[in-house]
């Protein structure tokens, strides 16, 4: 309130002499100006409020239409949030506390205002009302926030949590207050070093921000983006922490979906050509560092696949590709990397495999595919595959170079009649093949 703005006082006092003393006391106050409207009963308050606004209510508790502490309760219903200062003839502490509990902002003893006492009580009541309004506004804003907000003490004991916290975690504020968040929502999927770094940061008075996986009350896991800000007192000591939590589970799901779309073939869900070549390049680099290691690559093509599409339709062709993808997934080791390079062309990276290992796997895969059929109304759909295999070498420039070697062996298998496996050798007279008997 501006220092030049009069403080509007509504005085409810049935004793004319006491009312006059209040007016005189306030008139003599230096530095502030008061305008006083005087009525003698509670029943006169409502008409006054309809005619004008007031900043404070000065209330005598002994009125013609009300008596004692009940007067405060009745007045509160009439004036709403307007602060009430009680005028009382009793100076005992017990009664004063009861008056404050009933809704009074302050009280003064009649005939004992002291120097500036009444004005000071009014100023305090207005200040307290302003602070309460401000606090209520802040709490309302925090409650309205979409993100969960938690206030803890320095030991991470929850002192307050908003409604969004309940929606996020499943714990009500009553269940959360007095507990450490770790005892409620810790999924134990973050290691000790994660929390050690977090605490090191915030105890230094710095803000911390990060992502973690937490657990709801019902046991479900969720991704959370957490920001923690230290709160300091006037001396600079940390007293509280404010945590803002955002559920990012849906964002994470979309990110994973986009990552999957970027890295895999949508039909077979095998890795795509780009990822495969990146992994081959990494394996070549590993071979350059460790000369004793070995690795191989199988390049696979479905024989006469165009006939399948032409005879049975593209829908059946897609089922054939999916069935074949499942076969090579099951035939591959955990460390192997199967991929669809495009069309009916597939490849498998075999880390640690020798020529013997690669050709043995190629033959097992060829036989399994030859024994597989897919039911169709026109008859069982059977396919065969041709496989070209090549070793990875530290001398290879990149993944395309290895694919080129395996592709050479693959075309030798096709030229020799298909449904064959061949190994690439720089000397074509030494190329080896395994045929179906």
Separation of alpha carbons 366 and 202, rounded Å: 60
Residue of 295, 317, 318 whose CA lies nearest to 308: 317
> What number of residues does the chain have?
437
Cβ of 281: how many Cβ atoms within 10 Å?
17
Let me know if 204 is exposed, middle or buried by CB neighbors in 10 A (0-12, 13-18, 19+): exposed
Lookup: tokens for 26:
């306030």
Q: How far apart are CA 436 and CA 2, in angstroms?
A: 99
**Separation CA 171–CA 194 (nearest Å):** 24
Contact 211, 194 (CB under 8 A): no
Q: Residue 56: exposed, middle, or buried by beta-carbon count in 10 A (0-12, 13-18, 19+)?
A: buried
| DSSP-derived secondary structure letter, 264 | B
Catalytic site residue from 13, 283, 344, 412? 344
**Cα separations in angstroms, 18 against 40, 116, 233:** 11, 16, 44
Q: Which of 283, 278, 311 is nearest to 296 (CA)?
A: 283
Are 110 and 87 contacting, i.e. CB atoms less than 8 angstroms apart?
yes
Query: Is residue 344 among the annotated active site residues?
Result: yes
Distance between CA atoms of residues 264 and 272, nearest Å: 5
Nearest to 199 by CA among 158, 246, 154, 247: 154
User: Longest Cα pair distance anywhere in the chain, in angstroms?
Assistant: 127
Question: Nearest-CA neighbor of 245 among 215, 218, 219, 220?
Answer: 215
Which residues are the active-site residues?
Answer: 344
């Amino acid at each position: 309130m501006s220092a030049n703005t009069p403080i509007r006082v509504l005085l409810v006092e049935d004793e004319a002499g006491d009312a006059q003393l209040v007016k005189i006391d306030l008139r003599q106050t230096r530095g502030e100006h008061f305008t006083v409207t005087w009525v003698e009963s509670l029943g006169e308050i409502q008409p006054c409020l309809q005619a004008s606004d007031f900043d404070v209510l000065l209330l005598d508790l002994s009125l013609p239409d009300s008596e004692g502490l009940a007067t405060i309760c009745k007045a509160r219903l009439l004036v709403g949030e307007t602060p009430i200062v009680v005028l009382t003839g009793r100076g005992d502490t017990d009664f004063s506390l009861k008056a404050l509990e009933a809704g009074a902002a302050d009280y003064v003893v009649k005939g004992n205002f002291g120097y500036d006492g009444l004005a000071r009580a009014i100023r305090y009541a207005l200040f307290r009302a302003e602070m309460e309004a401000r606090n209520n506004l802040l709490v309302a804003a925090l409650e309205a926030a979409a993100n969960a907000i938690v206030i803890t003490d320095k030991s991470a004991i929850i002192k307050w949590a908003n409604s969004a916290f309940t929606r996020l975690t499943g714990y009500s504020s009553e269940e959360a207050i007095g507990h450490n968040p770790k005892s409620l929502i810790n999924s134990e999927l973050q290691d000790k070093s994660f929390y050690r770094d977090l605490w090191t940061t915030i105890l230094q008075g710095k803000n911390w921000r990060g992502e973690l996986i937490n657990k709801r009350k019902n046991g479900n896991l969720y991704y959370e983006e957490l920001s923690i800000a230290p709160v300091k007192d006037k001396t600079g000591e940390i007293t509280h922490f404010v945590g803002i939590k955002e559920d990012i589970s849906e964002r994470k799901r979309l990110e994973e979906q986009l990552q999957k779309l970027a890295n895999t073939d949508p039909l077979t869900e095998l890795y795509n050509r780009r990822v495969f070549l990146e992994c081959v390049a990494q394996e070549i680099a590993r071979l350059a560092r460790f000369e004793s290691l070995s690795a191989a690559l199988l390049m696979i093509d479905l024989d006469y696949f165009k006939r399948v599409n032409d005879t049975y339709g593209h829908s059946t062709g897609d089922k054939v590709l999916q069935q074949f993808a499942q076969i090579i997934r099951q035939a591959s080791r955990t460390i192997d990397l199967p991929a669809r390079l495009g069309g009916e062309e597939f490849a498998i990276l075999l880390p640690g495999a020798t020529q013997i290992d690669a050709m043995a796997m190629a033959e097992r895969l060829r036989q399994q595919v030859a024994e597989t059929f897919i039911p169709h109304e026109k008859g069982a759909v059977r396919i065969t595959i041709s496989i070209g295999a090549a070793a990875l070498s530290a001398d290879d420039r990149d993944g395309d170079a290895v694919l080129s070697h395996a592709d050479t062996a693959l075309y030798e298998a096709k030229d020799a009649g298909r449904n064959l496996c061949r190994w690439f050798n720089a000397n074509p007279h030494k190329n080896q093949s395994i045929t179906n008997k």
